[in-house]
Amino acid sequence: VMNVLDGERYKTITKETAGVLKGEYGATPAPVNSELQDRVLEGKAPITCRPADLIEAEMDKLIAEVQEKAQAENVRLANVEEDALINGMFAQVGWKFLANRGNPAAFEAAPNALAVAATAATPAPTTFKASTETYSVTVDGRNFNVTVGPAGAPLAIQPAVAETTLVAPAASTGAVVYAPMAGNILKILVEVGSTVAEGEAVVIMEAMKMETEVRSKFAGIVTAVHIKEGGAVAGGNALITL
């Protein structure tokens, strides 16, 4: 989806796709594209053994991290091991769930079967609005706005107000990097004053359960950062201004 939106084939490779090309998920059923594999390997060798054998045990570290965070923010953990996995696997989204697990107001209310049935059984009243049309009429060199109702009866006749030319404020000349789709901000890679090259990654987003780099189409200096880590954005929201 990212590449379709950008209009360039394989311009963006998500973290998970790069992992498949590197062999982090094991052998694929069919050979992968060698050019794409070389691109993500950056001179390194692909993984050919059992990938899990290369991962250091980190459960103790994850447990310590979630316990420290819970103590600092006064959050009560339900199951330390499960909560450590939720926090470790889903970053900011997982922690938001843990921190608000006992707060019903933080989540969408569960559907009420009786309320849903009552709403479906009671159709909304239909409102009919009489159709009116407004015309600009010139009489003896003078302009009038005439509003006509049903059956052609005139409802209002007013002298036309002379049009005023509005001068729009000068638009900002800064280039803006927009969110290609809705998602969560995992990491901001630049700050105000940073120099950005064309094609450089400026933000890492989580969209559709995958981590994606958002790259700038322009070169310049960052003048504004409109987002914060852990926040949510909609497609088309401004992320960075150069």
Domains, the chain, with CATH or none: 2-54 (no CATH), 59-106 (no CATH), 130-160 (no CATH), 176-241 (2.40.50.100)
Look at residue 173 in the predicted model and tell me its pLDDT.
Answer: 47
The yes-or-no verdict on residue 162 having pLDDT over 70 is no
Considering only 20-29, 86-95, 108-117, 157-166, which range has the smallest mean pLDDT?
Answer: 157-166
Q: Is residue 222 within 8 Å of residue 242, measured between CB atoms?
A: yes
pLDDT tens digits for range 88-134 = 888 778 888 898 888 888 777 777 766 667 666 666 665 555 566 66
Look at residue 90 in the predicted model and tell me its pLDDT.
Answer: 81
Residue 154 β-bridge partners: 148
71, burial (CB in 10 Å: exposed 0-12, middle 13-18, buried 19+)? exposed
DSSP for 138-174, please give it.
EETTEEEEEEE-GGG-EEEEEEPPPP----PPPPP-S
Look at residue 128 in the predicted model and tell me its pLDDT.
Answer: 52
DSSP class of residue 106 equals G
pLDDT tens digits for range 206-216 = 877 778 888 88
**Please, what's the b/e burial string for 76-114 (b: 16 or more CB within 10 A of its CB; e: otherwise)?**
ebeeeeebbbbbbebbbbbbeebbebeeeeeeeeeeeee
What mean pLDDT is predicted for residues 30-55? 91
d(CA 138, CA 50): 84
The yes-or-no verdict on residue 233 having pLDDT over 70 is yes
The yes-or-no verdict on residue 87 having pLDDT over 50 is yes
Q: Which amino acid is at 146?
A: V
H or E stretch covering 89: helix 80-99
Higher pLDDT, 167 or 131: 131
Higher pLDDT, 91 or 227: 227
Q: How confident is the model at residue 202 (pLDDT cuts 50, 70, 90)?
A: very high
d(CA 7, CA 1): 10
Q: Mean pLDDT over all residues of the chain?
A: 80
Q: Which amino acid is at 218?
A: F
Q: Is residue 217 within 8 Å of residue 196, measured between CB atoms?
A: no
